[in-house]
Every structure is written in structure tokens, then in C-alpha cells.
């Protein structure tokens, strides 16, 4: 079997390794970009009608990496407001 399908197997391994290497490169670039953006300090600005007056805390955080669609990391924060017991 190896002698009959040697070219096909080698070609499939080369294509698979190339695709895996490309995805690894994209993942590393996304993480590097994420680290550089996370190191920047952002000061909150006060707006007229969009301010929040409740004090809350982040009880969970999740990040999703989209390698195929976009080269970005999507951060999701889950916040709880103890005064009203609301989770968002």
C-alpha cells in the first residue's frame, strides 16, 4: 500500500504541515498583537447619559481566538453588581 500511495501520502503530509504551520503563525501573531494592545493604558471618559453608577466586579473572563475569520481576540467579561445581584 505504501508503494502505491506514496506520493499521495507525502503530499497530504506536506499540505497538512503547511496549513498547521500557517495557523500556528497566525495564532502567535494574534497573541503578540493582543499583548501589545493590552499594555496600553486607557482612561475612562465621562459621558452625559451613558455613565453607570453601580459598583460591580468581574467574576469571570473568557477570550476567544478567531484564526480563520478574523485575526483578533474577542474578550468577554462577566460582571456582577452586588447591590442589585445582577449578572451581565
- Who wins on pLDDT, 44 or 9? 9
Cβ neighbours of residue 63 closer than 8 Å, sequence gap 6 or more: 73, 74, 75, 76
pLDDT band, very low/low/confident/very high, at 81 (cuts 50, 70, 90)? confident
* Contact between 88 and 79 (Cβ < 8 Å): yes
**What's residue 15's pLDDT?**
96
pTM here is 0.54
Cβ neighbours of residue 67 closer than 8 Å, sequence gap 6 or more: 23, 26, 27, 30
pLDDT band, very low/low/confident/very high, at 88 (cuts 50, 70, 90)? low
**What's residue 75's pLDDT?**
78
Mean pLDDT over the full length of the chain: 80
Rounded Cα distance, 8 and 66, in Å: 31
Q: State how far the alpha carbon of 7 is from the alpha carbons of 14, 16, 20, 21, in Å.
A: 11, 14, 20, 21
Is residue 14 over pLDDT 90?
A: yes
Amino acid at each position: 500500500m505504501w508503494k502505491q500511495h506514496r506520493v499521495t501520502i507525502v503530499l497530504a503530509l506536506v499540505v497538512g504541515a503547511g496549513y498547521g504551520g500557517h495557523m500556528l503563525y497566525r495564532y502567535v501573531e494574534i497573541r503578540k498583537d493582543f499583548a501589545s494592545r493590552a499594555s496600553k493604558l486607557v482612561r475612562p471618559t465621562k459621558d452625559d447619559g451613558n455613565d453607570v453608577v453601580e459598583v460591580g466586579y468581574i467574576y469571570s473572563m473568557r477570550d476567544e481566538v478567531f484564526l480563520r475569520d478574523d485575526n483578533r481576540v474577542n474578550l468577554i467579561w462577566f460582571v456582577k453588581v452586588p447591590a442589585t445581584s445582577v449578572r451581565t
